[in-house]
Amino acid sequence: MLQRWRHGRRCQRLAKFSTAPVLTRYLESCASLDIERLDNTPMISVDLELTGLEKDNDQIIAIGWTLIDGGKISLGSNRHLLITSEKSVGSSAAIHELLDSEVAEGEDLEHGLQELFEAGQGRVWIFHHAGLDIGFLKKACEQWARVTPAFIVLDTLRIEYRLRRRREVPVKQGDLQLSEIRSIYGLPRYTAHNALIDALATAELMLAIASRMEPEHSLKLGPHLKFF
């Protein structure tokens, strides 16, 4: 696939300019990643909590992730990090319920990024509404390692939207929220806006969508990938 080849070349170029060894290793692994089916492609499901929605003004205050191997969630891989912020959580506390005093005891962002990209080496990344989180990650990496990394992504929001369009199912405001889509697939309702819980919820949703499309967990990922 031409797009995949171009993405690999881009990762190789970016790796040469990264000033952070862990990000260099991530980009090198991204360039050589072999992607086939859901059951044999390593994946990482990621969610961020933020002080707001503007990457140029707001900051990351929590990162959560879990790994998927062999088409199954590896619960032992769960990780949740609070990240210190120079900016008050302000009104965003009403969403994620994190207080300034809790965030102040978190890890620095560089440490959080190092752990995240170490975990993400050689994996496809899963998000719900990928553009938002990736925008913040790219901004943070530019400040940390002088490069904006590339990502190979499965976006559960985008995949579900395309499935509904194909079936000519109307999409109303709010229909594509993580909790709403999960309910369609018979998944339980979790407490929202905790980075780890949302990462797990997104991982479960990806597997549920794939299972409905291909019951044997042999979904070919190529048509559903997005390159950032």
In this structure, the strands spanning 60-69 and 43-50 are antiparallel
Closest CA to 59 of 130, 139, 129: 139
pLDDT in the model for residue 114: 97
pLDDT at 12: 95
CATH code of the domain in which 204 resides: 3.30.420.10
For 179, phi and psi rounded to 5 degrees? -65, -35
CA 97 to CA 59: how far, in whole Å? 15
Contact 123/42 with Cβ under 8 angstroms? Answer: yes
Range of the domain at 48: 2-227
DSSP symbol at 154? E
What is the total count of domains within the chain? Answer: 1
**pLDDT one digit per residue (tens) for the chain, 228 residues:** 788 889 999 999 999 999 999 999 999 999 989 898 999 999 999 999 999 889 988 899 999 999 999 999 998 999 999 999 877 776 675 566 676 677 777 899 999 999 999 999 999 999 999 999 999 999 999 999 999 999 999 999 999 999 999 989 889 898 999 999 999 999 999 887 899 999 999 999 999 999 999 877 679 999 999 999
φ, ψ for residue 68, nearest 5 deg: -125, 125
